[in-house]
């Protein structure tokens, strides 16, 4: 019984850990790419405060979730502690919401840049040149935040399922022994 | 808490957690939606057909302003299509017609070659006009036009072959370069026999558009440029010529479908056997119908070239500059060393000076004829295929009885010259003739000494006959203002002068013909390449010595009233204002490629020594005074005695309708301006993103505007694509050009499109100069010639504004190329700036001429300054010398110019409105907020905007003194707010439940 629970726990935690880890890295890299490389003539040399702040919040939440997931993997020895560590999903949810905000603001506050990049595609002409580093940084950041959003949510939802399973277990079960 | 309690079970319910996350996400989305609703409010209003306020007018109070559209609003689509076809019919240019190959006889068989025949390029990339509407029948392609307009027998096999078959177009963009990718002759095998007994229509198409110049190198044209024939095009022409030689093909007719000159060295080349050629420009939605009509003679071509068509597109000095400098824009040599940002990196130098287009070719030709020193090895016929103003007809016209009348004022001063000629149709087909008058100003010894340049001829006037039946004749009178005799002397007298020497006017079929007539009158007949007719030229004025007084003061009035024109009794002195954009006079840059640091401008005094041979290597020397340096956000300098204006004083409430009809200097303007808060003023001026915002407190309506150099943009029906501007100018028909403005304005004010109904302003016409043939946006500009540009713009502007659509010509100024347009610094001398580039704008803006009420500035810089942040251009010249009192609007400042298209620099130097989505609380800095001078400047900006709307905008239609703008509930705004509050509160609640449950479940039983 205990062995089965341990296996189940491991099977749940590892994917969650991976998702949380990837989401954290993507959020971190996405925000860094934006803040470091996307100050341009399209935003007057200043990146969006909304994106930076929301991005920072997302990083903190994603980091917290990741930390708790790691702790859960190595330290949860009882139903009680497992249940407590399963709250890492709060971090995932927070990361999801803030990441979503950062993503949306990155589109809104950089509409000039997007317009200039997309213009040649819709007009059929060459268009105004935009620095390749700026384009690649922006779209990479954009894509990373988008993916991180859903990975955070997926990690949170998975963790929530685990939480329900833990709640359904008998009181005395030691899941990691 | 008892874990068996109901409450615990409620808390334990599985739904709260997902609901919490969902609400959190929706809360975030609604926050962003709320934020988006600030800059994009007008766009969202457009989608939902809503407004933040509604107009309410108490009945029976005050006079109601009547500014209904005046003309053609009932059936605008039919009218528009008709004008499009009419313009194309009079603007297309018959270049060659050997042995009367055209018009095609009734019942002739026509076949097609080259992919362009199957895929016409109707309208340029860039403006929002529809560029293609074949599928739904809105646009007329070549086949449909021929089928509907003619009884020619159309070979569908060849048409389908070039439209959808192996011969179809593969033109496009490859690695940022325009390429044709024309299929070769090898794929034509299946259709070769279809050409038997047919006239083959060969359409050579070239695209161009906004944001980039036409590829001058790296393309698949034989000289590496996009504007020369590709090897496959040549191969196809050669094989068609072979078929013709074998007696299979009857005739070869070439259509050139391009806004600008396709290298024209092939049309008369025997290898290609071309019988007839016609330049059709970009024909718009219905222009191809007229092309079909012209092919069969239902229309007799009467268009004239608005540009010189040359045999080598690199032969002009401007194009030579491109070649030498690896393109139009170069990086300042020391850009990296001194840390210039993206918007400061690039420059372009107009080394050709005034010798743009035909001014170069004709002037050098005259100097060859008159054997001037240092003229070098130049043969006109090797360089020019078709001169400026050239165009053939299916009939012949004879000019006779030229008469000159000098018009004087009461004191005997010359005001203008009426030059009249009788034009007779001596052929056997009815037709129209474009009568052109060219002016020759003397190139004097004074000019040589001082450094003034003169073109051998310049277009000074034109007219067009009515449709003359065979044998009929008509007098055509062309009036030339005495003012056109002026020359700008930037070197000695620093003002306009009447130069010493002889002045000639001449009629001419084109620029070259006119010059030959003048040369004949001057006694050089023996040396000219074609015999001139001396009697068509006339010595109109001789000046013994330079008169530096006569044109040194502007007489344009300071401000107009809506009904009168008041001349300025004193006048504004005209003097140098642009020394800082001449590298040779401005110490902030040097040409590192020359020993003395100077740029060499082309001079007719030494053609061989001054034609561009080497690259210019401008370097920033950083010695420029702060006013002219390259930095943005220059310190706001307080004017002496400036006091903070009054804001928000509602003690005398006023509405804008009360100001209609009042002069600009009326004291009531101060009262209405006092009504406004600082925030209202700032937000209005920085949120002109395709409109000028409404101001409920003074009942200023929102004025809706859109792009439209040659057609109203973003309409759904897709009929508003007019022929390109070079075709419009090429009609040389002022009445017809006026109809274009009328059609565009009617379209703008009609309600044909719910999303764009009733526009009150159009960003039109485009008025930059076809400086070099590679300029990407040439389709949106009229010509290489400033006079033709000026008159074409004038006619459009007058017609638009008659219907209360405020014209907003663009782009002021020096935006003649597209490469790195965002911040590129343009350098030239002041004579060039004034005579070539500013001259059309003077006509467009002067209240005694076109009187445009608005204009759009450009992305580029003049020298180091963003054009819109140059008080010399925006205030001293535009308002001081020309008397312009409309409002100025930037180009897309909110798009890609935020490093340099900045509010403080713009407002302090004559910019009134920003095409942007700024916001008072974020964008108005403390320095701006607290500066009396800055706020006084903004108050003046607001006054100019309000003055224009009050007196000239159709948005005031139906308004009276009693009209109020009453705030109203906007459903989508309520929806966003509701979503935000509901989701925010729900999220908070769910979070509480979640926390409560987590705590409760961990509590001991």
Residue of A43, A108, A153 with shortest CB distance to B36: A108
A contact test, residue of B8, B28, B206 with most A CBs within 10 A: B28
Of the candidates B537, B634, B603, B626, the residue with the CA atom closest to the CA atom of residue B900: B634
With beta carbons less than 8 A apart as the criterion, state whether B1001 and B10 touch.
no
Neighbours of A109 (CB within 10 A): 20
Taking a C-beta distance cutoff of 8 angstroms, is the pair B799, B319 a contact? no
Contact B139, B122 (CB under 8 A): yes
The whole-angstrom separation of Cα B191 and Cα A101 is: 60
**3-state SS assignment for residue B309:** strand
- Helices (runs of H) and strands (runs of E) counted in chain A: 6, 0
**Is the CA virtual torsion B592, B596, B598, B602 positive or negative?**
negative
Give B467 to chain A, closest Cα distance, Å.
40
Nearest CA in chain A to B1002: A80
- Residue B913's DSSP bridge partners are B889
Dist. CA B386–CA B908, nearest whole Å: 47
**CA-based nearest distance B291→chain A, Å:** 25
Distance from CA of B314 to the nearest CA of A (A): 22
Structure tokens, B131:
């560029």
Token pair of B946 as six digits: 């309000």
Q: In 3-state terms, what secondary structure has residue B520?
A: helix
- Residue A104 sits at the chain B interface (C-beta within 8 Å): yes
Helix, strand, coil fractions of chain B, as percent rounded to 5 = 35, 20, 45
Of residues A149, A133, A136, A139, the one with CA closest to residue A27: A149
Q: Which candidate from A113, A128, A160 shows the least CB-CB separation from B211? A: A128
**CA-based nearest residue in chain A for residue B22:** A97
The band of A177, judged by pLDDT with boundaries at 50, 70 and 90, is very low
Q: Measured between beta carbons, which residues in chain A are less than 8 angstroms from residue B342?
A: 40-41, 131
Of the candidates B549, B440, B438, the residue with the CA atom closest to the CA atom of residue B498: B549
Distance CA B49, CA B44 (A): 8
pLDDT band at A69 (very low <50, low <70, confident <90, very high): confident
Taking a contact as any Cβ pair under 8 Å apart, which residues of chain B between 115 and 134 contact chain A?
125-126, 131
Most A CBs within 10 Å: which of B27, B776, B895, B984, as the mutation test of the A interface?
B895
The whole-angstrom distance between A135's CA and the closest CA on chain B is 14
Using CA atoms, how far residue B395 sits from B47, B63, B100, B845, in Å, is: 53, 56, 10, 39
Contacts of residue B27 in chain A, CB cutoff 8 Å? 97
CB proximity B35 to A under 8 Å: yes
Q: At B793, give phi and psi (nearest 5°).
A: -65, -45
Q: Which of B372, B775, B783, B332 is nearest to B610 (CA)?
A: B372
> Which residues on chain A are in Cβ contact (under 8 Å) with B992?
none
Residues of chain B neighbouring A124 (CB-CB closer than 8 A): 125, 131, 172-173, 207, 209
- B397 in A contact zone (CB under 8 Å): no
- The helix/strand/coil state of B291 is helix
Place of tokens 């638009």: B800
Least CB-CB distance to A126: which of B35, B211, B998? B211
Whether the bond into B811 is cis, omega within 30 of 0? yes
Mean pLDDT by 10 residues, chain B (1005 residues): 75 86 96 91 86 83 76 76 96 98 97 97 79 82 97 98 95 88 96 97 94 92 96 98 97 97 96 98 96 98 98 96 92 93 92 98 98 95 98 98 96 96 98 98 97 98 98 98 97 97 98 98 95 97 96 73 64 94 95 96 97 95 85 93 96 95 92 98 95 95 88 70 95 97 88 64 96 93 98 97 95 94 95 98 94 96 97 95 94 80 96 93 93 97 97 92 92 95 95 88 75
Please indicate if any CB of chain A lies within 8 Å of the CB of B821: yes
Contact flag B173-A125 (C-beta cutoff 8 Å): yes
Burial tier of B135 (Cβ tally within 10 Å: 0-12, 13-18, 19+): exposed
Our measurement of the distance from residue B86's CA atom to the centroid of its chain's CA atoms, rounded to an integer in Å, reads 21
Question: Coil, helix or strand for B402?
Answer: strand
Q: In the numeric block, which tokens belong to residue B420?
A: 């009249």
Test the A interface: residue of B13, B16, B17 with most A CBs within 10 Å: B17
Chain B contact for A96 (CB, 8 A cutoff): yes
CA distances from A81 to B27, B203, B801, B994 (A): 32, 79, 78, 18
CA angle at B169 for the pair B166 and B175, rounded to the nearest 5°:
125
A132 in contact with chain B, both atoms CB, cutoff 8 A: no
Establish if A168 touches chain B: CB-CB under 8 angstroms.
no
Contact B899 A41 (CB under 8 A): yes
The model's pLDDT over B646-696, given as tens digits with 9 standing for 90+, comes to 999 999 999 999 999 998 889 999 999 999 999 999 999 999 998 999 999
Q: Which of A126, A130, A150 to mutate to test the interface with B (most CBs of B within 10 A)?
A: A126
Q: Which helix H or strand E contains B612, and what residues bound it?
A: none
pLDDT in tens, A155-176: 999 888 877 777 666 655 554 4
Q: Is B899 part of the contact surface with chain A (CB cutoff 8 Å)?
A: yes
Based on C-alpha coordinates, what's the Rg of chain B? Answer: 31
According to the model, what pLDDT value does residue A6 have? 60
Measure B8 CA to nearest chain A CA, in Å: 14
Give the integer Cα–Cα distance in Å for B695 and B681: 9
Average pLDDT over residues A53-67: 95
Per the rule left: phi > 0, alpha: psi between -120 and 50, beta: everything else, B100 is left
For residue B498, give every residue at least 6 positions away whose Cβ sits within 8 Å of its Cβ, in sequence order, or none: B485, B486, B487, B543, B546, B547, B550, B551
Q: Which of A25, A60, A62 is CA-nearest to residue A152?
A: A62
B93-300 CATH fold:
Rossmann fold (3.40.50)
The first and second tokens of residue B126, run together, are 């860039």
User: At CB < 8 A and 24+ separation, what contacts does B317-320 make?
Assistant: B317/B351, B317/B352, B317/B355, B317/B360, B317/B602, B317/B611, B317/B612, B318/B350, B318/B351, B318/B352, B318/B356, B318/B771, B318/B772, B319/B216, B319/B772, B319/B773, B319/B774, B320/B611, B320/B612, B320/B613
The residues spanned by each domain of chain A are 2-168
ipTM: 0.91
Residues of B in contact with A103 (CB under 8 A): none
Rounded CA separation B827/B585 (Å): 11
Q: Which CATH class is domain B642-965?
A: alpha beta
For B352-364, b/e burial (b = at least 16 CB within 10 A) is bbbbbbbbbbbbb
CATH topology of domain A2-168: 1.20.120
Which of B13, B25, B820 has the highest number of chain A CBs within 10 A, making it the mutation to test binding with A?
Answer: B25
Determine which helix (DSSP H) or strand (DSSP E) holds B252, and give its type and residue range: strand B251-257
Q: In this complex, do B173 and A112 lie within 8 Å of one another by their Cβ atoms? A: no
Asked if residues B824 and B329 have their Cβ atoms less than 8 Å apart, the reply is yes
Contacting residues of B for A116, CB less than 8 Å apart? 895-896
Domain range list for chain B: 6-48+981-1002, 93-300, 642-965
Q: What is the 3-state secondary structure (H, E, C) of B865-899?
A: EEHHHCHHHHHHHHHHHCCCCCEEEEEEHHHHCCC
Residue B78's CB: how many other CB atoms inside 10 A?
11
pLDDT of residue A4: 56
> Chain A residue closest to B903 (CA)?
A44
Beta carbons of A50 and B823 less than 8 Å apart: no
Give yes or no for a contact between B285 and B234, defined as CB atoms under 8 angstroms apart.
no
User: In angstroms, rounded to a whole number, what is the distance separating the alpha carbons of residues B441 and B718?
Assistant: 46
In order of B172, B753, B851, B854, B1001, the CA distances from B884 in angstroms are 42, 33, 8, 9, 77
Q: How far is CA A154 from CA A99, A147, B884, B995, in A?
A: 13, 11, 62, 21
Helix, strand, or coil here: B423?
strand
In this prediction, residue A176 carries a pLDDT of 44
């Amino acid at each position: 019984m205990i062995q089965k629970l341990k296996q189940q726990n491991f099977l749940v935690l590892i994917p969650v850990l991976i998702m949380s880890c990837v989401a954290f890295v993507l959020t971190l890299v996405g925000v860094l790419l934006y803040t470091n490389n996307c100050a341009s003539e399209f935003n007057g040399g200043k990146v969006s405060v909304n994106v930076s702040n929301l991005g920072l919040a997302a990083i903190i939440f994603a980091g917290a979730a990741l930390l708790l997931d790691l702790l859960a993997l190595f330290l949860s020895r009882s139903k009680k502690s497992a249940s407590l560590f399963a709250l890492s999903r709060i971090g995932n949810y927070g990361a999801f919401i803030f990441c979503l905000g950062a993503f949306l603001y990155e589109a809104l506050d950089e509409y000039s840049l997007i317009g200039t990049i997309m213009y040649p595609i819709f007009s059929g002409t060459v268009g105004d040149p935009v620095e390749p580093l700026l384009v690649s940084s922006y779209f990479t950041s954009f894509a990373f935040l988008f993916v991180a959003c859903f990975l955070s949510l997926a990690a949170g939802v998975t963790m929530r399922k685990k939480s329900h399973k833990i709640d359904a277990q008998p009181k005395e079960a030691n899941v990691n022994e | 808490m008892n874990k068996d309690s109901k409450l615990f079970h409620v808390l334990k319910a599985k739904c709260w957690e997902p609901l919490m996350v969902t609400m959190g996400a929706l809360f975030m989305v609604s926050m962003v939606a709320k934020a988006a609703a600030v800059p994009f409010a007008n766009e969202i209003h457009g989608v939902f057909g809503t407004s933040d306020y509604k107009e309410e007018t108490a009945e029976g109070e005050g006079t109601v302003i009547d500014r209904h559209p005046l003309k053609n609003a009932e059936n605008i689509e039919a009218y528009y299509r008709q004008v499009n076809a009419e313009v194309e019919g009079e603007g297309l240019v018959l270049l060659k017609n050997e042995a009367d190959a055209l018009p095609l006889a009734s019942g002739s068989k026509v076949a097609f070659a080259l992919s362009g025949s199957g895929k016409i390029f109707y309208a340029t990339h860039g403006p929002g006009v529809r560029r293609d509407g074949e599928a739904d029948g809105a646009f007329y392609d070549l086949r449909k036009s021929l089928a509907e307009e003619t009884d020619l027998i159309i070979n569908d096999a060849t048409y389908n072959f070039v439209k959808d078959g192996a011969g179809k177009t593969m033109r496009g963009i490859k690695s940022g370069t325009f390429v044709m990718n024309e299929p070769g002759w090898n794929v034509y095998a299946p259709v070769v026999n279809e050409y038997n007994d047919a006239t083959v229509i060969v359409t050579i198409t070239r695209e161009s558009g906004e944001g980039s110049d036409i590829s001058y190198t790296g393309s698949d044209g034989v000289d590496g440029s996009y504007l020369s024939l590709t090897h496959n095009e040549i191969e196809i022409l050669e094989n068609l010529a072979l078929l013709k030689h074998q007696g299979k093909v009857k005739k070869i007719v070439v259509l050139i479908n391009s806004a600008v000159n396709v290298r024209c060295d092939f049309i008369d080349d025997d290898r290609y056997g071309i019988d007839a050629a016609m330049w059709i420009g970009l024909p718009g939605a219905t222009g191809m119908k007229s092309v079909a009509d012209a092919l069969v003679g239902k229309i007799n071509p009467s268009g004239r070239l608005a540009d010189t068509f040359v045999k080598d597109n690199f032969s002009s000095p401007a194009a030579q500059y491109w070649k030498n400098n690896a393109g139009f824009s170069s990086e300042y040599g020391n850009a990296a060393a001194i840390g210039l940002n993206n918007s400061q990196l690039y420059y372009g130098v107009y080394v050709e000076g005034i010798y743009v287009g035909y001014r170069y070719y004709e002037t050098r030709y005259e100097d060859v004829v008159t054997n001037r020193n240092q003229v070098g090895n130049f043969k006109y016929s090797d360089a020019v295929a078709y001169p400026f103003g050239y165009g053939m007809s299916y009939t012949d016209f004879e000019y006779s009885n030229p008469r000159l009348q000098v018009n004087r004022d009461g004191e005997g001063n010359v005001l203008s010259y009426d030059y009249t000629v009788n034009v007779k149709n001596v052929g056997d087909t009815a037709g129209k003739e474009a009568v052109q008058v060219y002016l020759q100003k003397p190139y004097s010894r004074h000019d040589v000494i001082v450094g003034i340049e003169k073109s051998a001829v310049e277009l000074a006037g034109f007219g067009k006959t009515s449709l003359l039946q065979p044998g009929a004749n008509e007098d055509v009178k062309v009036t030339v203002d005495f003012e056109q005799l002026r020359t700008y002397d930037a070197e000695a007298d620093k003002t306009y002068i009447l130069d010493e020497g002889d002045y000639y006017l001449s009629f001419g079929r084109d620029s070259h013909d006119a010059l030959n007539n003048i040369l004949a009158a001057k006694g050089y007949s023996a040396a000219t390449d074609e015999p001139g007719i001396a009697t068509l030229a006339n010595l109109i004025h001789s000046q013994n010595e330079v008169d530096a007084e006569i044109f040194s003061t502007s007489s344009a009035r300071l401000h107009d009233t809506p009904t009168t024109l008041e001349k300025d009794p004193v006048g504004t002195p005209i003097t140098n204002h642009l020394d800082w954009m001449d590298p040779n006079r401005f110490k902030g840059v040097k040409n590192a490629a020359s020993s003395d640091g100077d740029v060499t401008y082309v001079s007719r005094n030494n053609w061989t020594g001054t034609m561009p041979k080497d690259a210019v290597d401008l370097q920033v020397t950083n010695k420029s005074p702060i006013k002219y340096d390259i930095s943005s956000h220059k310190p706001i300098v307080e004017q002496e005695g400036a006091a903070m204006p009054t804001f928000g004083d509602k003690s005398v409430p006023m509405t804008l309708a009360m100001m209609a009809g009042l002069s600009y200097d009326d004291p009531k303007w101060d009262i209405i301006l006092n009504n406004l808060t600082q925030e209202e003023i700032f937000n209005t001026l920085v949120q002109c993103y395709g409109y000028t915002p409404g101001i409920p407190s003074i009942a200023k309506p929102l004025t809706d505007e859109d792009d439209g150099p040659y057609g109203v943009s973003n309409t759904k029906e897709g009929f508003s694509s007019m022929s390109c501007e070079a075709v419009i100018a090429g009609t040389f028909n002022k009445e017809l050009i006026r109809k274009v403005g009328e059609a565009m304005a009617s379209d703008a004010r009609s309600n044909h499109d719910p999303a764009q109904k009733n526009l009150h302003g159009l960003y039109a016409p485009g008025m930059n100069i076809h400086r070099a043939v590679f300029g990407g946006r040439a389709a949106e500009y009229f010509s290489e010639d400033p006079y033709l540009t000026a008159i074409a713009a004038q006619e459009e502007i007058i017609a638009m504004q008659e219907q209360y659509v405020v014209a907003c010509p663009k782009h002021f100024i020096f935006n003649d190329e597209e490469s790195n347009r965002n911040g590129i610094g343009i350098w030239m001398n002041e004579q060039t700036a004034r005579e070539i580039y500013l001259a059309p704008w003077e006509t467009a803006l002067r209240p005694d001429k076109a009187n445009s009420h608005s204009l759009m500035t450009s992305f580029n810089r003049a020298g180091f300054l963003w054009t819109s942040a140059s008080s010399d251009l925006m205030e001293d010249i535009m308002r001081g010398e020309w008397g312009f009192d409309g409002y100025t609007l930037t180009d897309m400042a909110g798009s890609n110019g935020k490093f340099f298209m900045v509010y403080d620099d713009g407002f302090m130097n004559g910019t009134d409105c920003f095409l942007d989505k700024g916001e008072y609380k974020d964008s108005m800095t403390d320095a701006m907020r607290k500066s009396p001078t800055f706020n006084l400047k903004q108050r003046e900006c607001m006054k100019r905007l309000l003055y224009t709307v009050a007196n000239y905008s159709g948005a005031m239609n139906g308004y009276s003194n009693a009209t109020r703008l009453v705030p109203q509930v906007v459903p989508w705004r309520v929806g966003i707010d509701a979503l935000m509050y509901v989701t925010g509160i729900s999220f908070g609640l769910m979070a509480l439940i979640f926390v409560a449950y987590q705590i409760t479940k961990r509590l001991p039983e």
